[in-house]
């Protein structure tokens, strides 16, 4: 199994926040993240670089997450957020 296949297998949920009101995005992402088992991940799809979300994860979850850019704009960003 390739690393890409392993990554896709462990990705449990895709959240496309481009159509979700901004005030609802972070709570939805964190609720989904907290529901993951260790070793699982979610795929975040956004219309801008979600760097502020990364900093919020650092502040709230410290070393309990992984953050991997799969696509970096200019129109779509995809980030795999894993739970350790």
Structural domains counted in the chain:
1
CATH of residue 54: 3.30.110.40
Structure tokens at 45: 């799809």
Residue 2: what pLDDT?
47
Q: Which domain holds residue 43?
A: 3-83
Q: What are the 10-residue block averages of pLDDT along the chain, 84 residues in total?
A: 52 93 97 95 97 97 94 97 95
* Bond prior to 74 in cis (omega within 30° of 0): yes
Q: How far is CA 37 from CA 45, 74, 77, 82, in A?
A: 20, 31, 24, 9
pTM (two decimals)? 0.86
């Amino acid at each position: 199994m390739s690393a890409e296949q392993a990554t896709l297998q462990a990705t449990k949920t895709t959240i496309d926040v481009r159509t979700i009101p901004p005030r609802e995005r972070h709570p939805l992402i964190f609720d989904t993240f907290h529901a993951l088992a260790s070793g699982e991940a979610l795929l975040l799809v956004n219309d801008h670089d979600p760097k502020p979300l990364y900093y919020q994860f650092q502040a709230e979850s410290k070393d309990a997450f992984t953050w991997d850019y799969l696509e970096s704009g200019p129109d779509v960003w995809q980030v795999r957020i894993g739970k350790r």
